[in-house]
Chain A
Amino acid sequence: EIVLTQSPGTLSLSPGETATLSCRASQNIGSSYLAWYQHRPGQAPRLLIHTASTRATGVPDRFSGSGSGADVTLTISRLEPEDFAVYYCQQYGVLPWTFGQGTKVEIK
């Protein structure tokens, strides 16, 4: 199965700064079959991005996805207090679908 490696494990930033999260696949997953989710404690995960760069409905434009193949990035510009959470990438190019281990974005 495809292993997704997210880096860094933890990102310590201040509100207003920019977060850059990386997700690397152990093999090419084909085209852009990659999604990003935000997960706050005690809540259900929330879809942010699918197809590597398409924002889900209602997601602010400060969230952007880029990349394809085996290397993708989630950028969060102008961090808001509600953006401090854990972020997961997920591939759906090769069964079984898999998630990365997560990147925690915490307040510095």
Chain B
Amino acid sequence: QVQLVQSGAEVKKPGSSVRVSCKASGDALSNFAVTWVRQAPGQGLEWMGRIVPMVGITNYAPKFQGRVVITADKSTRTYYLEMTSLTSDDTAMYFCARGGNWLDPWGQGTLVTVSS
């Protein structure tokens, strides 16, 4: 059964960048699709984008296009979310999840705090 383990909490300055990782383990096919979702404090879930390594595609929500890059390292079964030009509005819990459509399972979440 697949498990996704994410990297630890981050504290970043406005204008900087952050990279969050998501490592897959367990009995599963390699190179499956992964989606990133975030939840700002007191808000709902927000779909950010996905990577589908088997067909070599990534898709991003328009508000993140150009500021977010999602990648996958097939050799280590690790997926990455990199976000640049951080502002306080990016303070949120970031989740990875297996799947390019419905999402199951989810990682435990990584808290990213942007503060001067």
The interface of chain A, by Cβ under 8 A from chain B, is: 1, 33, 35, 37, 39, 44-47, 50-51, 56, 86, 88, 90, 92, 95-102
**Contact B103–A37 (Cβ < 8 Å):** yes
Residues of chain B contacted by A100 (CB below 8 angstroms): 44
**Contact B109–A44 (Cβ < 8 Å):** yes
Contact residue among A37, A45, A51, A99 (Cβ-Cβ distance under 8 Å from B46): A99
Count residues on chain B whose CB falls below 8 Å from chain A CBs: 24
Complex: A46 Cα to B105 Cα, angstroms: 7
Complex: A99 Cα to B46 Cα, angstroms: 6
Complex: A80 Cα to B6 Cα, angstroms: 30
Which chain A residue has the least Cβ–Cβ distance from B98? A47
List 10 A-B residue pairs with CB atoms under 8 Å apart, sorted by A's residue number.
A44-B107, A45-B103, A47-B103, A47-B104, A51-B102, A56-B104, A88-B45, A90-B102, A97-B101, A99-B45
Complex: A98 Cα to B60 Cα, angstroms: 11
By Cβ-Cβ distance, the 10 closest A-B pairs, closest first, are A47-B104, A50-B102, A44-B106, A35-B102, A92-B101, A96-B61, A99-B45, A102-B44, A97-B47, A101-B44
Contact residue among A1, A45, A51, A96 (Cβ-Cβ distance under 8 Å from B45): A45
Interface residues of B in 14-52 (CB under 8 A from A): 35, 37, 44-47, 49-50
Q: Does B84 contact A (CB under 8 A)?
A: no
Interface residues of B in 43-101 (CB under 8 A from A): 44-47, 49-50, 59-62, 95, 97, 100-101
Residues of chain B contacted by A50 (CB below 8 angstroms): 101-102, 104
Known contacts A45-B106, A47-B104, A99-B45; 4 additional CB pairs below 8 A are: A47-B105, A92-B102, A99-B37, A102-B45
